[in-house]
Structure 1
């Protein structure tokens, strides 16, 4: 007895589910990017130079002050004004000389200092360009020059928190329920986000940003899981698509909020407080009936399923409790039959399973590094960082629809290979451009974000279809955890750009290129039946040709396999949802 059979009778995608999609899943995923990625703008480092009190108190323009303060140095092969060093001068005397000079009433364009003037490190802190921001966390604590690695430390701590805490919150979700776990995460996210803004210490800020970052993956996953567990199997991919669209929509709005709120504390407070509307969902958001059945709370599951049937215009089965007990018994037997194999070492005991695990994990790691790395590197790209962030977000929308279509037409394997190869080339090719042609790197980053965003959907689908049933959750969880650990290093890969702007692109692009080649070794899963046992998984794909785009099981495809017209119809449904 399967839960899907009960769900089909009471309506597996009726008015009840649609209401939750339109009023919960989509609205709930939009603000996620705001308090998940707001620290990118909060930690932005504007142009800066040594602060000289004598010049700051004078009537000289900012441009004139900079010409007296900033020596020209070779950086990345270019002559650029220094951000961390200054001329070693008696500025009181210089100021008097300047006021008496014939240049005092002109634009100061012809005023120069001798090349042999000694230089020294900043003595009195830094002055900052206030064009885009009134203040940021980096300007507040002077996280520049010898402290310029600290903003990357905050990004790393967020990844550490996510890698450590996500399995814990996942276990909590299975123990106390999806609904309660979701609201606990929202509460902690709100409180940790606000506390990090009001405490005066940078160490306290770092600790609470770690706590805040540890909750973000769970807040994204739980609403998606709650919907997936009450819709039919043919609508599950659509739920993922809607969640991704909500995330991307929030991603595109975030830079507008940062532009309108130039003070980092106010911006952080506003974006974090968008957690508050989630609490209004408490009264009408149902617990997952599938989870309630799994822990034998049948009466509560019956109440929810009865309400679902009535709203969907379906009749309630008279023997609903009896059938739910059979569902729970089936779940328990399946779990008991798989306990002998559900440990991490099983992923390496079998040749095919080992190959699947290593290849999927490599693809997942490369994808996570590219996505996260390109996103946090936005402040280093050519042009306005708000516009760049928006463009990096908006390119995700067409990538989802293209990926969905290609997966059903060309298969999963070559779609993954092609998209990762596109991401790799777009990241690597700009490294051949001259250093002063920075716009090429920006264009490459946009195309790379398009490729890796689409490739994530394929990797996720391949993982679900290649891992055998007894180790599917273990395999996907292990691959995702390793990818999450890899993102811990990503901020410091981006930090290597301080030694050479192209270094991060070589590392990330090279990883994507390697992952693209490795992905071609996976078997095709389009129209294939899922492997139910490890033995099925070991035999799977043995007769496939390397350049095939379909599974050899195509002749045995069940009647409910999606045709191109069905896929196109679902894409139109997604578009209408937006």
Structure 2
């Protein structure tokens, strides 16, 4: 609570803090569209094998000139289980006998077929050209599309690790973090800067190093030891919190990016999905804000992660023909995923002490980006079952919801500044529960 007193003097939420949030929002607006770009640049249009009798540009391809395109397609391309033209195989020779079958569909498994050795013909009604049509990333090569998305997301993972250290820190440092990490002079400078921008110049000028040291005496003494990433795992309570929070972030990011990076697996109209997914985020964040204030951190995250898992599993078993229901379920999934993510960020910041909060955020960020990178990679499993990746997304979300109650509730509690604060608070809460239990027992 000592630092909170200093923060109240310079302005807890003023122009200074708002400007920082605006700069962060601008950065997110620039970066985020690049992640979603592959829904359009790597879209997979409808396709079938190129066949000489149908797609040759010369007039001699159709000798009689009387056969329609549908007829030529029928004798050249076999039908799949849904009675639609196969995407990856063609008849070895034109099957002229199929012309005499009026509305019947014989067993075509006995007819000789071959892969698309001469390439593919793509439907250009929605996308005139994509990287898929450019490099034929379909059929046997469809896994390369997932690999490309994986490499993109893996680049985000590597970049978050490297550029977190190489950044020029154009945003102001956290004054709380600077002081807790034994940099009181720099922290005092940031506090004065915040006070001036918040219109509290007199309060900023009144702050001196002596005042700061007297208020933060205990915290500054604890800051003599420089924290490291290993400090996250030395004590049992902090280790438990970091590991569980990392798993929740991992599952949340994997499910979230599984939805937004594979719009075509959900439905055919990717433009509609993109608009809906973008529009639902703002009200979703407001709902998360209300839930955090009224339900608390534990209940909110558990509820949203369960809803995310259930909505993804429901999408898996809803037929493609029922597009309205698939749109509703996927939009719900994106909404609750955003809600759960907001709750997870708030919960994580309140569980981890200030002295290692930046380190913990980086560690949990790595776990998040691993989940985001695995999301497209799991799509390779569609060669075994089209439902398998979605089942994994849904199950992981539900498991994450189950582990959230193992974390302590932090609503209306002060932020811990040191690792000792975390350990003492948990011991104190356990002791209080034991005392409450003994009181209840003695009443009967």
Please indicate, yes or no, whether the TM-score normalized by the shorter chain is above 0.5: yes
Q: CA deviation at 1:21?
A: 5.7
Say which is worse superposed, 494-503 or 432-441, in terms of deviation: 432-441
User: What is the SS of the residue equivalent to 1:540?
Assistant: helix
Deviations 1:37-94 (A, max 9, x none): 21221111111100124312367766455434321123xxx45431110011159xx6
Distance in 2, Cα, partners of 1:354 & 1:40: 38
User: What is the distance in 1 between the residues matched to 2:429 and 2:204?
Assistant: 45
Residues 162 and 417 of structure 1: CA distance in aligned 2, closer, same or farther (over 3 Å) = same
Pair 1:337-2:224 in alignment: yes
Contact 1:523 1:544 in 2 (8 A): no
2:146 alignment counterpart? 152
| In 2, Cα distance between equivalents of 1:150 and 1:324 | 61
Among 64, 70, 76, which residue is 1:69 paired with? 76
**How far 1:411 moved relative to its partner?**
0.8
Counterpart in the other structure of 1:125: 119
Following the alignment from structure 2 to structure 1, what is the Cα–Cα distance between the partners of residues 211 and 44? Answer: 57
Output one character per residue of 1:190-225: Cα deviation in whole Å (capped at 9) or x when no partner: xxxxxxxxxxxxxxxxxxxxxxxxxxxxxxxxxxxx
CA distance in 2 between partners of 1:543 and 1:17 (Å): 33
Give the Cα–Cα distance (whole angstroms) in 1 for the partners of residues 21 and 316 of structure 2.
43
The whole-number CA distance in structure 2 between the counterparts of 1:163 and 1:355 is: 23
Q: 1:83 aligns with which of 87, 90, 94?
A: 87
Larger radius of gyration: 2
Distance, in Å, in 2 between the alignment partners of 1:520 and 1:311 is 39
Alpha-carbon distance in 2 for matches of 1:3, 1:357: 24
CA distance in 2, matches of 1:529, 1:494: 43
Partners of 2:312 and 2:208 lie apart in 1 by 56
Secondary structure of 2:229's match?
coil
Say whether residues 1:535 and 2:420 are aligned partners: yes
Q: Name the structure 2 match of 1:251.
A: none
C-alpha displacement at 1:151, in angstroms? 1.1
Q: 1:369 to 1:507 in 2, by over 3 A?
A: same
Classify 1:524/1:149 alpha carbon distance in 2 versus 1 (closer, same or farther; 3 Å): same
Contact 1:408–1:526 under 8 Å retained in 2: yes
Taking only aligned residues, the RMSD between alpha carbons, in angstroms, comes to: 4.2
**Aligned pairs (5 A) from 1:355-504:** 355-433=240-318, 437=322, 440-504=325-389
Question: Once the 2 structures are TM-superposed, how far is the Cα of residue 398 of structure 1 from its aligned partner?
Answer: 1.7
Question: Are 1:3 and 1:324, in contact at CA under 8 Å, matched by a contact in 2?
Answer: no
CA deviation after TM superposition for structure 1 residue 13, in Å: 5.0
Deviations 1:92-138 (A, max 9, x none): xx6xx99xx8x9xxxx9859787343111112100101111000011
Distance 2:429 2:314 in 1: 33
Q: Does the aligned pair in 2 maintain the 1:48–1:126 contact within 8 Å?
A: yes
Contact 1:427 1:441 (8 Å CA) reproduced: no
User: How far 1:11 moved relative to its partner?
Assistant: 5.7
Q: Is the 8 A contact 2:88 2:139 kept in 1?
A: yes
Q: SS at 2:260's partner residue?
A: helix
Q: Give secondary structure in 2 for the equivalent of 1:149.
A: helix
Give structure 2 stretches of 5+ with no counterpart.
Answer: 60-64, 437-444
Seen in structure 2, the aligned counterparts of structure 1 residues 32 and 396 have a Cα distance that, compared at 3 Å, is: same
**How far did residue 141 of structure 1 move?**
0.6
Q: Give CA deviations for 1:117-171 in whole Å, capped at 9, x if unaligned.
A: 3111112100101111000011001111111011111111122212222121111
Moved more, 329-338 or 528-537: 329-338
Displacement of 1:531 in angstroms is 2.7
Residue 441 of structure 2 corresponds to none
Deviations 1:298-323 (A, max 9, x none): 9x979x949x8379484595578978
- Residues 193 and 204 in structure 2, CA contact (< 8 A), matched pair in contact too: no
Query: How big is each residue's C-alpha offset from its partner over 1:264-321, in whole Å with a ceiling of 9 and x where there is no partner?
Result: xxxxxxxxxxxxxxxxxxxxxxxxx99xx969789x979x949x83794845955789
Would the aligned equivalents of 2:42 and 2:145 in 1 still touch at CA under 8 Å? yes
SS at match of 1:525: coil
Unaligned runs of 5+ in 1: 180-225, 234-288, 553-578
What is the match of residue 196 of structure 2? 309
Q: Is the Cα contact below 8 Å between 2:266 and 2:315 reproduced in 1?
A: no
Q: What SS does structure 2 have at the residue aligned with 1:73?
A: coil
Q: How many residues align?
A: 419
Report the Cα distance in structure 2 between the residues aligned to 1:472 and 1:507, rounded to whole angstroms: 30
Q: CA deviation at 1:425?
A: 1.4
Against the structure 1 CA distance between its residues 120 and 297, is the aligned structure 2 distance closer, same or farther, given a 3 Å change threshold? same
In 2, Cα distance between equivalents of 1:349 and 1:369: 28
**2:29 — aligned with what?**
30
Q: 1: CA distance between counterparts of 2:256 and 2:381?
A: 17
What TM-score, normalized to structure 2? Answer: 0.79
Whether the aligned pair in 2 keeps the contact of 1:11 and 1:309 (CA below 8 Å) is no
Contact 1:294 / 1:331 at 8 angstroms: preserved in 2?
no
Which residues of 2 match residues 261-280 of structure 1 at below 5 A?
A: none
Alpha-carbon contact 1:399-1:453 (below 8 Å) kept: yes
Change (3 A) 1:338 1:54: farther
Question: In structure 2, how many angstroms separate the alpha carbons of the residues matched to 1:227 and 1:443?
Answer: 41
